[in-house]
Amino acid sequence: MPAPASPSFPDFRADFPILGQQVHGHPLIYFDNAATSQKPRQVIEALIRYYERDNANVHRGLHELSMRATDAFEAARARAARFIGAASPDEIIFTRGTTEGVNLAAQAWCARHLQPGDVILTTGMEHHSNLVPWQLAAQRNRASLRHIPVLDDGTLDMDALDSLLDGPVRLLAFVHVSNSLGTINPAREICARARALGITTFLDGAQAAGHMPVDVRGIGCDFYAFSGHKMCAPTGIGVLYTRLEVLEEMPPWQGGGEMILSVALDSSTYKAPPARFEAGTPDIAGAIGLAAAMDYLDGIGLEAIQAHGEALTRRAWDGLSALPGIRLLGPRQSRAPLAAFTLDCAHPHDLVEYANTRGLALRGGHHCTQPLMRRFKVPGTSRASFYFYNTEQEVDAMLGILRQAVEFFGG
């Protein structure tokens, strides 16, 4: 088994059953946290409790199980509001994840506000989930897109921002933390500059929520989307935060049960937000698991989680920099807990497959950021991404495996 965590940070590995296994005869080193995180017993047990004791559909049910399920589901909404500093639980829409949150806004908000000739501003580092939906919205509404360039160091060209915001820009959509570069964008500053011009702002927070403190009112954004599965919660659950004034102006994006006040054969009236945007039976267990994950993470402390991730990343970056033929992407300082790199001796896919035979889980490819890979003229990268249950000893083990890989492929 890997050695315990650094004495400066508690060892939480015992809470994660999956981390105790071996892969190909080696202790598992799980460094694919930017794709999905592992789940602690506390979250797993919350799911079991719900399914064993309270499983029923929410809202409108008058029997005991339905009332318990409804109370837990709405308590999870309130928990999510507290977790990100929303003004009210009514500003929280449960989704399947960040991707659905983007699509919801791209359809419902754009249907009301985007006009022919308008501009949606994004960046050159966006995940496809925060790019393709806006492309589709622009096509539907005969609008166009602009993009904030990415500099060689992996940061946004902030000097170009004011000129790009000029003109008929109606919405600025950008990633809080890049899943491919580790760049932490200055969200508060960007939103303030957009807000001064009356531009609506959408943040993709998939790599930020659960890894660092997030205060949506402090940031000053109109939308903020994130996924539960990247922050110790189940897959298939996420949150779209929307300022209530913005939410109240948006039409439904899906129709069905739960979101209606009354239905006739040829017309319907709809509930107020957030119910208006949650048609059908929701992922009740997922929301309950998400609340349990937020309790767990707040019990550790987001500041401590962020500091531990930064320490692991510095250790990894220093060790990786010594490998021959390596190219590291993204800023050296003030970065999220991941390291993306290429090696001259091996394609990213080959390197990740080699690491897998040693029990090391990395990810290789374009990471759903093909425009960014083209910007840096690489077919893809190998990516190691860390979370609070990872240790310095695991980072050192990764570096040893990669040194062996350099000898294997380069020899």
Distance CA 336, CA 92 (A): 25
- With tokens 């509404």, the residue in question is 141
Distance CA 289, CA 247 (A): 25
Q: What is the phi/psi pair of residue 92, to 5°? A: -110, 120
Three-state DSSP at 46 gives: helix
Sign of CA dihedral 186, 305, 97, 61: negative
Three-state DSSP at 404 gives: helix
Distance CA 288, CA 160 (A): 43
Q: Establish whether the linkage from the previous residue to 282 is cis, with ω within 30° of 0.
A: no
Which amino acid is located at 376 in the chain? F
Of the candidates 299, 294, 297, 290, the residue with the CA atom closest to the CA atom of residue 73: 290
Q: What is the phi/psi pair of residue 279, to 5°? A: -65, 140
Tell me the C-alpha to C-alpha distance, in Å, between residue 29 and each of 24, 267, 319, 360. Answer: 12, 55, 17, 5
Strand 338-343 and strand 381-385: the pairing is antiparallel
Tell me the C-alpha to C-alpha distance, in Å, between residue 149 and each of 165, 360, 375. Answer: 13, 34, 9
- The token duo for 211 is 């890894």
Q: What single-letter DSSP state applies at residue 31?
A: -
Question: Is 368 among the catalytic positions?
Answer: yes
Which amino acid is located at 393 in the chain? Q
Tell me the C-alpha to C-alpha distance, in Å, between residue 324 and each of 315, 320, 327, 363. Answer: 17, 9, 9, 20
Distance CA 338, CA 253 (A): 35
Positions annotated as catalytic residues are 368
